[in-house]
Chain A
């Protein structure tokens, strides 16, 4: 019998802890346990056999900590350690079968005993916040999976990984490189949070989407604490549930961690877990064959709770899940270049910050999901989609809706997304369904389905419903259930046909209440071509919500739309004590939030606004000057730069300090933005004083200093190419060559990474690059800078501005 056939249908038992047992048998701290697969295979096999004899059905090979990073320090390869580990496990199973046979047990071949490839965390945080890329993590897991599959593992367990993104890389590696069942168990704390902040619902949403075979909890907690968390899991999980607790919470005795729940108590607690819905149970840290033996004795006759489909339509980010339910949702529509010249320019300039800001504002304004569309004909959309998705999810907590018609961009977005994504969109055309459904299925996306097909948008309700039915049926053939489809009833403007709203609303109603599907609409299309569009939009939005709209794709910065939304929720009883409604009212009274809260500064001059660091006032003052007909270059040279110099001088004289310097920089930036807007209107671009490359050197992950320098240099009119942190010397060289750069700024914080700074400088010099190099960072000194061959040592951010200006004036940039 294959594991997949009985998983969730009968109670199965995992094994228990391995680490402590190995220590008892002489494993030293610092010694890598997996090396014993080769050095002492008989010890490992003996432990497996003890667990099998105790009644375990699923035995984990001793491969938890094996990965390419760890093996760099070892005499063995990943493949050797994994092959040996899996082989020992399989041998143990065969030997125990033989023993059972000798004991006269019947049907020995059918006793369920399976060898699992055990995969743990790589121990590295993924980019963009961390050190390694998603692809590097994927390849690390891929190597492990291929080795384990080849060695004959029966299933894969991914366990004890606390970052959902790393788990996604592991699951994809497992699914793409083997056909084995994949089980994932994670450590949650007592509040039900992963160490990286994810909650149970978000983990379940993502993993179900990726098609794993079972989900559960392990380590971190004892059975009693897991009992409290289990309802969170059973509530949302439609897969078999695995629970592998520790032998209690860790207790520190004399500074050492021990687990002290005895086998009998452990077994009884686990029995409760089975009654509550776990169908695979075992142990983790501190559990022994005695724990497992007792657990099997106590639990073996307990009936399991049948696994049911919870029929939830859900998307998730790295830390929380968003459900389509009675209460409607807001999908922010602003990350989209359609009809926005500034956004288009930002995409062409690769100005990711602009995109992130659009996201942050929408999050602030109450969006639940963000639509992400970065499509422009002249750009590399797949590449930009990957960057946008990874960049946005690093700083914004909301689930994302990947919005593109480019299939490659779609797959890139889905692959690098950290959670269960939404996908916009598929339609009833055969071609569309053929290309979209397979990848939507693979990544578990919730798909927006447009009710149109080869014949266009049906004019009648019936026509749109027919298309919807066809889409639902076709999706089912690809294994995509109804719960992962959200229908777009389509909105056409009432300015072209008076019945357009009526058709949409009736389609909505039937989709939601007759077909039981969730729905979305791009609401504002309704008023296209009409004056005062907000009036129509707001009323239509309310009508749509009342006719079964599950999620409106709107601009959350639109005050009337959000007022309609909060009012609607209060009226349908989805806003307890009208709290959200009242909060929204308070916000409307206060007006839109401004970064700088100081008011009544409209009379300030541009210089004053910049010196005081007031963003809004600086912007207003600039607009005023421009309106007075003053030339933009004059403003820059006679108002803006002198003001920045005042601040810079104050900083160097220690009369002003870093936060003030940066506030002024932000204010100056707002002023520049206003000027740029005018210039681009005149078809001009502002002058650049030259391009500067800036980077935090390889090995160093501290980048605030570098970012401060970048902000200030931008203010003074330099074009900055920011390569980020932990940047390899070769990448710096390549960029410098490609862009003919004359000035490079390098930052390093640690004495250990200044070495890499030196290496970078050496590489540039060896390649006879004619450029100046300025350096800075906490441990650097003039002497040190000279020693490593830098041209300039900047003791603070203003120093770099002075140096860059000097070079500019000498014509060397």
Chain B
């Protein structure tokens, strides 16, 4: 757990934090950057990152993505997802990882605590939490690629993560995804009736894996239809 926390901390994109806080490309002054460091340190103490993933064979067809289990002797499950955007995202991929990751309830508690005593820190904790879970997902992508390399002796590259709610990929897919990964039992993730997740600093995503080189896409616009500068990212 401590190792993964250090990796998350190391790979946090500070510019994302500034952006979530509405700074755009401006770098905050010393008071704020000091406060961000302080909140990040605190956040690192309270998070309990957990994740789970499964790999599937992927076929895309007319706006439909069909995911079938890699090893049928172990798991005969399959998933059919209706989404033009996702199928575009995955069209070059034979393999897909379905990932669920969470920072745990500690991040939510910390934000709530700050809301009581210091709203500026609350907004910073919110932004840091969002950057942390992204950093964690980035790290998990490396883990998945490493595992694939070890198993297949082939190098895999990732396509930009694609989550339920992006573009035309309906949130309803969360239900299928939660069942397939046993999210609640395995990593303590829960789904509300409106299909949002608790703990809130969590991500579920389809990650396309391909043997052809992908440059790391920083531009989020490929992932989702809209892009916001607010803290509620």
Q: Which residues of A contact B228 (CB under 8 A)?
A: 778-779
Q: Which residues of B contact A124 (CB under 8 A)?
A: 190-192, 198
Task: Knowing A357-B116, A701-B196, A711-B119 are in contact, say whether A30-B55 is a contact too (CB < 8 A).
Answer: no
Q: Is A49 located at the chain interface by the 8 A CB criterion? A: no
Least distance between B66 CB and chain A CB atoms (Å) = 14
Task: Knowing A29-B75, A360-B117 are in contact, say whether A195-B187 is a contact too (CB < 8 A).
Answer: yes
Residues 627-668 of chain A: 1 if any B CB is under 8 Å from the residue's CB, otherwise 0? 000000000000000000000000000100111101101100
Kindly identify, within residues 148 to 194 of chain B, every residue whose CB is under 8 Å from any CB belonging to chain A. Answer: 151, 165, 171, 176, 179-180, 184-185, 187-188, 190-194
> Is there an interface contact between B116 and A662, defined as CB atoms closer than 8 Å?
no
Which residue of A123, A356, A613 contacts B191 across the interface (Cβ within 8 Å)? A123
Q: Which residues of A contact B191 (CB under 8 A)?
A: 123-124
Which residue of A28, A196, A255, A702 contacts B232 across the interface (Cβ within 8 Å)? A702
Q: Is B63 located at the chain interface by the 8 A CB criterion? A: no
Kindly identify, within residues 206 to 233 of chain B, every residue whose CB is under 8 Å from any CB belonging to chain A. Answer: 226, 228, 230-233
Q: Is A311 located at the chain interface by the 8 A CB criterion? A: no
Q: Which residues of A contact B230 (CB under 8 A)?
A: 705, 778, 796
Least distance between B22 CB and chain A CB atoms (Å) = 5
Q: Which segment of B7-15, B84-92, B100-108, B133-141 sits at the interface?
A: B100-108
CB-nearest residue of chain A to B46:
A197
Q: Is A381 located at the chain interface by the 8 A CB criterion? A: no
> Is there an interface contact between A193 and B48, defined as CB atoms closer than 8 Å?
yes
Q: With the chains together, A121 CA to B188 CA distance in Å?
A: 10
Q: Which residues of B contact A163 (CB under 8 A)?
A: 188
Task: Knowing A29-B180, A130-B190, A778-B230 are in contact, say whether A395-B116 is a contact too (CB < 8 A).
Answer: yes
> Is there an interface contact between B194 and A704, defined as CB atoms closer than 8 Å?
no
Which residue of A598, A666, A699, A750 contacts B120 across the interface (Cβ within 8 Å)? A666
> Is there an interface contact between A125 and B231, defined as CB atoms closer than 8 Å?
no
Task: Knowing A256-B71, A595-B117, A749-B232 are in contact, say whether A659-B194 is a contact too (CB < 8 A).
Answer: no
Q: With the chains together, A163 CA to B184 CA distance in Å?
A: 11
CB-nearest residue of chain B to A753:
B194
> Is there an interface contact between B151 and A657, defined as CB atoms closer than 8 Å?
no
> Is there an interface contact between B50 and A195, defined as CB atoms closer than 8 Å?
yes
> Is there an interface contact between B185 and A196, defined as CB atoms closer than 8 Å?
no
Residues 94-131 of chain B: 1 if any A CB is under 8 Å from the residue's CB, otherwise 0? 00010000001110110111011111101110100000
> Is there an interface contact between A357 and B179, defined as CB atoms closer than 8 Å?
no
Q: Is B76 located at the chain interface by the 8 A CB criterion? A: yes
Q: With the chains together, A566 CA to B171 CA distance in Å?
A: 54
Task: Knowing A659-B124, A662-B120 are in contact, say whether A254-B55 is a contact too (CB < 8 A).
Answer: yes
> Is there an interface contact between A123 and B117, defined as CB atoms closer than 8 Å?
no
Kindly identify, within residues 250 to 281 of chain A, every residue whose CB is under 8 Å from any CB belonging to chain B. Answer: 252-258
Q: Which residues of B contact A256 (CB under 8 A)?
A: 54-55, 69-71, 74-75
CB-nearest residue of chain A to B180:
A29
Q: With the chains together, A219 CA to B182 CA distance in Å?
A: 13
Q: Which residues of B contact A219 (CB under 8 A)?
A: 185
Q: With the chains together, A23 CA to B109 CA distance in Å?
A: 38
Q: Which residues of A contact B111 (CB under 8 A)?
A: 704
Task: Knowing A23-B76, A699-B193, A779-B226 are in contact, say whether A658-B22 is a contact too (CB < 8 A).
Answer: yes
Residues 767-782 of chain A: 1 if any B CB is under 8 Å from the residue's CB, otherwise 0? 0000000000111000
> For the side of the interface on A, what is the size category?
35 or more
> Is there an interface contact between B119 and A395, defined as CB atoms closer than 8 Å?
no
Q: Is B32 located at the chain interface by the 8 A CB criterion? A: yes
Q: Which residues of B contact A595 (CB under 8 A)?
A: 117-118
Q: Which residues of B contact A705 (CB under 8 A)?
A: 230-232
> Is there an interface contact between B194 and A699, defined as CB atoms closer than 8 Å?
yes
> Is there an interface contact between A658 and B21, defined as CB atoms closer than 8 Å?
yes
Least distance between A249 CB and chain B CB atoms (Å) = 12
- Most A CB atoms within 10 A — which of B171, B194, B199? B194
Kindly identify, within residues 729 to 784 of chain A, every residue whose CB is under 8 Å from any CB belonging to chain B. Answer: 749-753, 777-779
Q: With the chains together, A54 CA to B217 CA distance in Å?
A: 55
Q: Which residues of A contact B3 (CB under 8 A)?
A: none
Q: With the chains together, A452 CA to B138 CA distance in Å?
A: 63
Least distance between A600 CB and chain B CB atoms (Å) = 15
Least distance between A291 CB and chain B CB atoms (Å) = 18
Least distance between B26 CB and chain A CB atoms (Å) = 7
Q: Is A131 located at the chain interface by the 8 A CB criterion? A: yes
> Is there an interface contact between A395 and B32, defined as CB atoms closer than 8 Å?
no
Residues 587-617 of chain A: 1 if any B CB is under 8 Å from the residue's CB, otherwise 0? 0000000010010000000000000010000
Q: Is B4 located at the chain interface by the 8 A CB criterion? A: no
> Is there an interface contact between B55 and A255, defined as CB atoms closer than 8 Å?
yes
Least distance between A160 CB and chain B CB atoms (Å) = 6
Residues 27-46 of chain B: 1 if any A CB is under 8 Å from the residue's CB, otherwise 0? 01001100100000000000
CB-nearest residue of chain B to A702:
B232
Q: With the chains together, A705 CA to B21 CA distance in Å?
A: 11
Q: Is A708 located at the chain interface by the 8 A CB criterion? A: yes
Q: Is B61 located at the chain interface by the 8 A CB criterion? A: no
Q: With the chains together, A598 CA to B200 CA distance in Å?
A: 33
Least distance between A29 CB and chain B CB atoms (Å) = 3
> Is there an interface contact between B196 and A750, defined as CB atoms closer than 8 Å?
yes
Task: Knowing A707-B122, A752-B195, A778-B233 are in contact, say whether A125-B190 is a contact too (CB < 8 A).
Answer: yes
Q: Is A353 located at the chain interface by the 8 A CB criterion? A: yes
Task: Knowing A121-B184, A395-B112 are in contact, say whether A659-B123 is a contact too (CB < 8 A).
Answer: yes
Task: Knowing A254-B71, A658-B22, A708-B119 are in contact, say whether A30-B176 is a contact too (CB < 8 A).
Answer: yes
Q: Is A191 located at the chain interface by the 8 A CB criterion? A: yes
> Is there an interface contact between B32 and A654, defined as CB atoms closer than 8 Å?
no
Q: With the chains together, A660 CA to B22 CA distance in Å?
A: 11
Task: Knowing A255-B54, A395-B116 are in contact, say whether A129-B109 is a contact too (CB < 8 A).
Answer: yes
> Is there an interface contact between A657 and B190, defined as CB atoms closer than 8 Å?
no
Least distance between B69 CB and chain A CB atoms (Å) = 7
> Is there an interface contact between A704 and B122, defined as CB atoms closer than 8 Å?
yes
Task: Knowing A258-B74, A657-B32, A702-B200 are in contact, say whether A662-B105 is a contact too (CB < 8 A).
Answer: no
> Is there an interface contact between A658 and B112, defined as CB atoms closer than 8 Å?
no
Task: Knowing A29-B77, A253-B71, A704-B111 are in contact, say whether A129-B105 is a contact too (CB < 8 A).
Answer: yes
Task: Knowing A28-B77, A125-B190 are in contact, say whether A659-B147 is a contact too (CB < 8 A).
Answer: no
Kindly identify, within residues 48 to 84 of chain B, every residue whose CB is under 8 Å from any CB belonging to chain A. Answer: 48, 50, 53-56, 69-71, 74-78
Q: Is A101 located at the chain interface by the 8 A CB criterion? A: no
> Is there an interface contact between B171 and A752, defined as CB atoms closer than 8 Å?
yes
Kindly identify, within residues 661 to 701 of chain A, every residue whose CB is under 8 Å from any CB belonging to chain B. Answer: 662-663, 665-666, 698-701
Q: With the chains together, A753 CA to B194 CA distance in Å?
A: 8
Q: Is A394 located at the chain interface by the 8 A CB criterion? A: yes
Task: Knowing A395-B113, A753-B194 are in contact, say whether A195-B104 is a contact too (CB < 8 A).
Answer: yes
Other 4 A-B pairs with CB < 8 A, given A191-B1, A750-B165: A131-B193, A187-B185, A654-B26, A666-B120
Listed by A's residue number, 14 A-B pairs whose Cβ atoms lie within 8 Å are A30-B180, A191-B1, A196-B104, A253-B71, A658-B21, A658-B123, A662-B119, A662-B123, A702-B232, A708-B119, A711-B119, A752-B165, A752-B171, A796-B230
Closest 7 CB pairs of A and B: A255-B55, A195-B188, A699-B194, A29-B77, A662-B120, A125-B198, A256-B74
